[in-house]
Chains A and B, each alone.
Chain A
């Protein structure tokens, strides 16, 4: 079942000779439960694509469909609510709320929705990510790897349709990067969670189920299913 689909997605910046085609007619689809890595060098358009997939930015043309719903004609508030309920984000810089402890950071999207968190589910995520002992700590009391785990937990807590991870290991050392990648794989399998990860690191990308290469805003070389190797 397709959980995400893009149709002829375009995002251009500037005009005339300074025109930059950040996303140039991309049509992709992602099945439920897939762990997809979008790989490209700097300036290939991968972050721009991620922003469009997450509804953080507006495409110049084309469509993004998540869970059967198109983001095309959604207004700003609608998008925000949709994002809150259906998309989890993991950023390179974690972007946790410094005044909240780990637990409150994790359940923040649920609270923003006015709902009560599923304590059992949250507890399971925290346990899975090794954060049970740290629930009362604040982000500044955690290491980079621990902070990224909190970010992953937050992204998973509202049981989103997809999780978008933008260079999740970008600020981590190799050992911690491997740990975090392992966690992403595990949660993908455990919760049948669809994860789309942006990275410039081919090695990291190998850990995903499928790799999509971007260059100059276009998909190149077709999809590569890692399991084929």
Chain B
């Protein structure tokens, strides 16, 4: 009955109202565009950064898969038939061990013959040539070509030393291949220690049929993962597939628990929510000020008979128009940030290769949707005010000017992140890291003394330490030894595995009591697994690490290995009358407060067995006991539990020359790249792929890249949050001043000069911001301290914190001074009279 035919007049009113609010429109578009830009930027840069870093950290052979299932070709075919498996590619090992080329010293280089599908699924992209098509053809990575000093020329010949045969019968066989192609290495972050060379499956049948009998790794991609579980369900689902297809075991890099995943993804989600809230308040304030200024117009419209629904339509048309423009601008800018700045920044970091821009369409839809939702919700309250205010209320209306708690918190958060970024990034000390990870200038160590091997143990030659000593820049060489019980292997479904070096000993007294305690402890067993400790306890024949360390090195070793109970009597140690005990409870789960634990000063007798079962008993005093391990591992203890002087070790183990575990090297000045290469060359002449070289030069170059990465990411994050914090601050100051403009006009009318007005506003603003500043300094200090304690960083730097805090205070003060000056200028564009007349 009372239907309004009002579309045209409402459109006209909306147009008029829109064109009479030019500065509001500009500010609203800016606010919406900024919100959209930030949300889009976070989605494209922030979230893909997390998956990039995650991909980097979990980078392992088969980078495109979720894991591997061990089996035969039949297993692979069965897997492919399973609906839960998207693809399954076998990557056949052509040899039971890595390649033995001298150039690969310190690395594990594998000759593989994968299925054709493997390459595409695992990001192996050719940059030159083609894949191998016969058993004497190979493709190598760009990193391998660089290492070998090869130009990426197709058709070059390369000789590889392939271990043909199995187990003890493996023979190092030189074989010449034609390089038919080069690929971009997707495992760039581990390319210094691992690489892959590809040939065809026919290689195995032609040259190494022993490998054809073994189960191989089948890399699989699952398609039944629950996205909400963030890959924490991979292990279970792999096991299910393994059981259904008859596989013989699984392996995966996706071992993170839900808790760890939430820890990594949680901050990003919080960040997005934070931006959303900031956007909400930004846009809310813009519309609230606009409606407040127009409130009498709305009251007048109601007086002449405009309904709330009609006013709502007038406002919504404007809001839609502003939102569309703002969102379009924000999306374009967000695209630029996401696809130019984001990858550009990431390329400068060590994660560059793993950065993948997310699906642009999805990001745009999410960004636009979120921004539209934010704009609508934030305008809603103002809409309600405008549409439902009565004419009488409108005449009396005074806008609220309560301080924005959110602004205080948001600015405090921005400041805190800035302080943490400064301290973590700029405070990152490469020198500190070099000292942390290196006891001496360089160290050669044998992998078999800490890790299991796939091929028979090959000792370090006794001449190597002498050759190193002869180098002109070397000032000192120390050699550490470790006993190795023979036979040292176990047969498994994947072939023979050679265990880390352990000795066999008998114990009594305190040592025996402690080991028996571990053998009977469920907690110990569940942490370290059942390594046969109970059987060893029954027979009093224990498998423990026995190490021989030079007496003049032991103090430094203790300092690098952790915290020890007791003071080492160097004379007794050197004389072979005392030992250091490093318990097998390396993770300190049982602590040391159980009854019967070993203490410094305890006397004990240890029986040391040789390979023939002969035993030499030795009565010793336990001089020091490890109470807490150092996590950085620059010492030489490794899996050693009984630490003897090297003199005593040589007495007990006549085959000590075959048992060199570590060579510590001192140089005149800090070791240079050239010196590192010279030592590396000597090591390569060993033709022993079980050796690895670390040095201060190597750590320094790695940490340099890490520091650059931290700085770039840290400041990008601080920059984004800074924009949010500053926009909230500017927004709050502006809305506060505009809500008081009539009061301020009155003050000017009774004699307040512009300077006094500016000073008053500045004082109010600084007082308001002081809460934020106090919060940010306290939280920034605490968080900077906590974050920099993490092993990734190098500790809290108080001086740097003070400097960054001072810089931040300057920025805050500068913004407040500028904003208040600008607002006084803007306010005074209208005369006092015009402003006072606004109330009439």
Q: Which A residues form the contact surface with B (CB < 8 A)?
A: 51, 54, 56-57, 76-77, 80-81, 83-85, 88-89, 91-93, 95-98, 108-109, 112-113, 154
In the complex, whether B749 has a CB less than 8 A from a CB of chain A is: yes
Q: Given known contacts A56-B833, A96-B746, A108-B747, what 9 new A-B pairs fall within 8 Å (CB)?
A: A76-B754, A80-B753, A83-B751, A84-B750, A85-B751, A95-B749, A112-B747, A112-B752, A154-B750
Q: Which B residues form the contact surface with A (CB < 8 A)?
A: 742-743, 746-756, 831-833, 836, 839-840
Q: List 25 A-B contacts (CB under 8 A).
A: A51-B833, A56-B749, A57-B831, A57-B833, A77-B753, A80-B748, A80-B753, A80-B754, A81-B751, A81-B753, A84-B751, A89-B749, A89-B750, A92-B840, A95-B742, A95-B746, A95-B749, A95-B836, A96-B746, A97-B746, A98-B743, A108-B750, A112-B750, A112-B751, A112-B756
CB proximity of B832 to chain A, nearest CB, Å? 5
B750 close to A83 (CB less than 8 A): yes
Which residue in chain A gives the minimum CB-CB distance to B746?
A: A95
A57 vs B832: C-alpha distance when bound (angstroms): 8
A56 vs B746: C-alpha distance when bound (angstroms): 11
Which residue in chain A gives the minimum CB-CB distance to B755?
A: A77
A54 vs B750: C-alpha distance when bound (angstroms): 10
- Neighbouring B residues of A92 by C-beta, 8 Å: 840
CB proximity of A148 to chain B, nearest CB, Å? 14
A80 vs B751: C-alpha distance when bound (angstroms): 5
A207 vs B736: C-alpha distance when bound (angstroms): 41
Which residue in chain B gives the minimum CB-CB distance to A51?
A: B833
Interface SS of B by simple majority: helix
- Neighbouring B residues of A80 by C-beta, 8 Å: 748, 751-754
Which residue in chain B gives the minimum CB-CB distance to A94?
A: B746
Using a Cβ cutoff of 8 Å, how many contacts connect chains A and B?
Answer: 56
A56 close to B754 (CB less than 8 A): no
- Neighbouring B residues of A96 by C-beta, 8 Å: 746
- Neighbouring A residues of B756 by C-beta, 8 Å: 112
Of B747, B752, B831, B839, which one neighbours A56 at CB under 8 angstroms? B831
- Neighbouring B residues of A109 by C-beta, 8 Å: 750-751
- Neighbouring B residues of A85 by C-beta, 8 Å: 751
Interface pairs A-B: 4 shortest CB-CB: A84-B751, A95-B746, A80-B753, A109-B751
A113 close to B751 (CB less than 8 A): yes
A95 vs B749: C-alpha distance when bound (angstroms): 10
Which residue in chain A gives the minimum CB-CB distance to B760?
A: A112
B751 close to A91 (CB less than 8 A): no
A96 vs B754: C-alpha distance when bound (angstroms): 18
CB proximity of A71 to chain B, nearest CB, Å? 14
CB proximity of B710 to chain A, nearest CB, Å? 46
A113 vs B748: C-alpha distance when bound (angstroms): 12
CB proximity of B413 to chain A, nearest CB, Å? 28
A76 vs B832: C-alpha distance when bound (angstroms): 11
CB proximity of A99 to chain B, nearest CB, Å? 8
Which residue in chain A gives the minimum CB-CB distance to B752?
A: A112
Of B743, B751, B753, B754, which one neighbours A95 at CB under 8 angstroms? B743
CB proximity of B757 to chain A, nearest CB, Å? 10
Of A88, A93, A97, which one neighbours B747 at CB under 8 angstroms? A97
A77 close to B754 (CB less than 8 A): yes
- Neighbouring A residues of B832 by C-beta, 8 Å: 56
A3 vs B756: C-alpha distance when bound (angstroms): 28
Which residue in chain B gives the minimum CB-CB distance to A155?
A: B750
B833 close to A97 (CB less than 8 A): no
B836 close to A91 (CB less than 8 A): yes
A54 vs B839: C-alpha distance when bound (angstroms): 19
CB proximity of B396 to chain A, nearest CB, Å? 11
- Neighbouring A residues of B751 by C-beta, 8 Å: 80-81, 83-85, 109, 112-113
Which residue in chain B gives the minimum CB-CB distance to A167?
A: B840
A112 vs B751: C-alpha distance when bound (angstroms): 7
- Neighbouring B residues of A76 by C-beta, 8 Å: 754
A98 vs B399: C-alpha distance when bound (angstroms): 13
- Neighbouring B residues of A97 by C-beta, 8 Å: 743, 746-747
